[in-house]
Structure 1
Amino acid sequence: MTQLRLPKVHHHSRSSWRSGLSAKFIWVQLFVAFIIIASTIWVLWIIQRDQLLRQQQEINYTYGQVVISRLKEITGQYESLAIAMASVAGLYQQQPQQLQQLIPALLDRKQRDDLISGGGIWPEPDTQHPTAAPSLFWYRDASNALVQISDYNRNAVIPYHTEEWYRPTRLYPADVAFWSPAYRDPTSGITMVTASVPVRVEHKFVGAATIDIGLNGINGLFHDLSRDLSGYIIALDYRNRLLSLPQGLQQQLPLTPAQVPDMQWLSETMPVFTALQPALKNVDDAIIRQAQLQPQFTDVQLQTLPSLVNNQHDLLKAIVENAPQGWPQTAELIDTIELQQDPLLAEDAMVSIFLMPGTFWKILVVTPLSQLHHNAYMLAGKVGFFLVIIQLLAMLLLYLLQRRIFISPISRIAATLQNQNLAALEMLQRERQDEFGGLAGSFLTRVQQLETEMASLYATNLAQEQQLQVQELSQQELRNRTEQLTALLKYSQHIIHMKDLNGCYTLVNDKYCELLGREREQLLGHRDQQLFPNIEQPLTIQHEQRVLQTRAPFSAEEPLHIHHGGTRAFFVTRFAVRDELAELNGVGAIGFDLSGVKRNEVVLQNEIAQLQQQLQQLQQLLQQQKQQQLVASQQKQQEKRQQQQLLEQIHHLQQQELPLPRLLSMLVSRLSQQLDQLSAAIYQQPAETTDRQFLQQAESLRHLQALLNYQRSEIQPLELSEFFTICCCLWHRNWTLTR
């Protein structure tokens, strides 16, 4: 800037001006401008071409995603159908007649755009009885009607369990389909691909369910999908066999109806497609590398796969490893290449190769590039012309304006951002009212937004962690509840079952199956009238209808016909079953066996009858004892009266001062009378209750009476005190015994 303001510049000669700094600056500026303009035009053409290529790639990618999404939707329907067939086959494994009716009903979808050409159930052959479980297969004939074929069960046909569409399913989960490569079926003569789903019963592989899709239907599907595309679509299976070709290429190729061509054959017929071979190999390598990251099966398990040539065996193992893991989850764009002089488009073309999830099909989207090159040249020329003018004008003002307008503010902003000095940015925002001030303000606003968003993300993350913890607890509780319910159903000695509103069993426990002599699979989905047509169950139907009407539990005694031919009484409690919306969807029942209770009741009734009989006997004996006690009480009262009279007489005699011998004689006479009466009462009692000591004392009293009466002839000396002592002792003993 200082040199430009020197006054000597205006006084130099022309030659000196040419050699001055100003001329040099101008020539340098012109040279730089020429280089900039030329390089800008060249770079612009390159960039524009690359940008257009990227745009075309994005268009191809978007269209490929749309096509594969549509394909995934269609193939997903057939996968779901195959999974449903596998579930039905596992449920009715022992009921081939049911399968004969259900499988055709599932295959005959009655849709206009249905691509199904056949399908069926293929049981795993038994090593001891290879033909014990025949296959059930149907295909569509020329009139689009399902026809069953049994040729696969003959010995002349190659065993189906050795086919490539069957053997990998042994390693697949129950809800994942294996899509076979294209092949021509030797029996039906149809060129097709097969979606195979394993049939598992209690985690054991028992066969496969298949859905066959003819290549004619797949060709029509891809033709419909490519109508809005300026190019065309080629579809390959994982072994690079052609699933779909545009009609223009089919007309140029010597194809036969029985031929299943692959990409190698197409490259030999049309060498321009040889350029696609490395890209297709990259797809195979990507599948194999992904399988090596997380292997799921051992080498022993993978030996059951069919042996294929070259790297196709490794590719099949990789597909078996990746499919249960759900890789790829979305359509993968593996590679994009340019094709020189496409035989159908007659110009350069771009080919985008996609890997389709689930089926591992390779979808090739081919679009022309001629319009792209033309647009690149036109846009580069127009932009280059205007760029020359702009560059010339800009070069004149660049030196004067760049430092003031751009360099200084940009340097200041850069330094501020580098130092993270937000206060300087606020000052710059207030000082400048142009874009730099707006940029500083936008940056400050963005910083505040980022802080707010970070806080929101932190809160969201915390909430999600809490939600995950709650979900884990809920899942653990659900697993515990499931294990408890399983244990209850397995070990409970009471009968437990549930039915839907139509009376079909939806849940039964092991004890109920044991009593009925039926397997669980035979009971589920059936009504009592179907299982036991010869047995009427009016009480069961009446009680179930009562629960459905009242919505309240009901308990009653019901008979159950067990499989041995007998009948047992059960006390059954029935209750209404509701779904998560509190809507009634069935009736449950819990019952316990009353046969033991009945036996105990009979034993108790017999014991009660015996006790009642013994009680009657005891009552009779008690009545007799009461009567005897009453008689003894009356006698006791009589004796008390006699004793009172005797005492009164003795007192009277004492007052009259009767002689002692007479007094004793009267006293002994009175005692003898009482003794006779008491002895008569005692002899009337049973022998077991008679006191022999008392009888001996009674005899002694009689001897005393004889002794006293003997005094009339011979007087014996006797002490009065001794006599009264003996009399009192005898009277006291007599009174005690009578009590």
Structure 2
Amino acid sequence: MKWYNSIKVKLIGFFLLISLLFLITIMASFSLLKESVIEENAMKKATLGTAQIVSEVKSTQIKMEESVLILASIAAEKYEKDQLFKEIIHDILSKTQQTDIVSGGVWFEPYTINSEKANKIIFFNRDRTGKFNPVEDYMETNPDNYRDMEFYTIARYLKEGEIFWTKVYDDPVTHVSMITVVSPIYKDGKFVGVASIDIKIDNYAKYIEAFDNNYFMLVDRAGTFVTKSTLVKNHTQKKNIYQIDDPKLGSILKYIVKTLNHYEKKAKYNSSLANKLSESSLEIDLKDGQRIASIMSNREKTLNKNIESQIHFIKMDPLLGEKSVLALFHFTDTDWDLIVGISEDEVLAQTNKTYQIIIFITLIITILATIFGYFLLKIFFVKPVESVNKQLENSIQEDGNYILLECDDKGEIGTFVQNLNTRTISLENSQKREAAEIKKRIVNEKLLVQQSKMAAMGEMMDAVAHQWKQPLNALSMYSEIIKSDFEDGGVDQKYVNQFKDDIQIQISHMLNTLDEFRTFFRPNKEEQDFQLKDVIDSVLFLTKDEFLKNRIMVTIESTNPIRIHGSENEFKHLILNIINNAKDAFNDNNITEKRVIVIRMIDDHESKRVEIQDNAGGIPKHVIGDIFKANVTTKEEGKGTGIGLYMSMQIAQKHHVTLSVQNKNDGACFTITF
């Protein structure tokens, strides 16, 4: 037995296969689980990674909004006292302790403070020392009227106590890129002006300086960068995210722009308000007016939902040079967006570590379970099977009977052994019955052979007697002739010699017939090579007188001599049985026309074969299929035994030749194929 056919090897292979499938299933399950939680983990990681930035942004936003609300509230009460009011504004700006503030002030409607003066502003700017100084010539240096600027136009449509953040812009006087937070000033329910605080956008850069391993972008409602991390700056100097046309950044920009457009499209707004805003200020186009109107319209809805977020997975981040998680945080109250790119490995570091630990533990458990399961099966399955197999190897006794197997197993193997013992007992009984049947069959076959020989011998005796009849008659006639010739004195030496020769001819014919008869029934102890034509000639020599008596003409057609190996006398019996059946068929069917048996010996490219064909009417269809079986005959009861053709088939099978028959040309055609 090959080693790989061993049941132990198969069991080990089975457990390894099961373990492998189990491990693959576990890994696939955890992979699916990991995929299902990756977005949640990525959002958590992005939220944690940007918590400080978001916190700083929101903290600045809250403090600025508180300051501008205080400024608007005090302005509503004190604006009529001009000098005192200036001091109060200066104190408010100075005491905020917010270095982010670069300027601030209040801006009034025409003739609100002074009936003779249309424009009135109180505006302070922080110098390099951090002190706030009044800007007295703002109106002279600003080519545009402040009431046409974005911050003032938006504040005019705000309710008392509301605030609003402008988009990033360059101040026309200070030439600083800034963002302004504004709040309207109302006096007795009447809009009288705007309070504003300006924040320099460069101050936001300090919040992301510690995050160079990732990248960040903070954009306002129009897509203008409020601030961006070093990685982003190294790849683009554009001021607006919509202006970036670098194809290398396409893989992340398509998600960013799509998300920004999504928030913009889903926003609902007052179209009338949007039109008024765009018509009131050159700094506000229609699209920007729609954004502003949307923020104002949805202020109450977004009050409790301050930040919305989305996650995208980038296969190859052009900024990080690896897979990344792109997180987008949308500030609904300002319509700002914080965009964060984090390495996927960093996001999934803890998840991957946990995953590896679980896989390792699963692998160890799987190996231990495999080893434990193998030893259990070895004890409860392999050992009983090996014991049974060992008993089977030595289970045959000297007398040929089987020793019954023993097994202590109480389960399926024990039941199997018990059934095997039952089958063994049944097999022994069957073998005994079969041996008895074979013995009986051999006896019956010997009887059939003997009967066949005796039947053939009887027919041959008739043929010999018929052949001896003529020479015996001749000898009887010679005895009468010699007596008459002796009495007449005609017997001399010449007469005696001639008489002797004539008698010797008749005696030689009788001896040849007797020798052929004796040879025909003498069994061949050894097989030998012989010519098939010699066999046919021998049979026809013994049967020629019988066939002449029955008016049957036998002809031989031979193309080439056929030499075969086997028992010559058994083949004589085979040929004799076939032609005797033809003779009987002529007589049984009362064939009156010319009776012919044709023997053809054929040796061509197809095969070597002998065809024996007669015109005796053929074999009935219901019998022809069983004609070579024992006790099957077409003759009337008492005239045939059904043994001849059966014995012919046995002889053919013994010599590994094929014997077949078919009805052909008003007769039967037997074919012996070598």
Per the normalisation by structure 1, the TM-score is 0.43
Q: As a proportion of its length, which structure holds more helix? A: 1
State the TM-score, normalized to the length of structure 2: 0.47
Larger Rg: 2
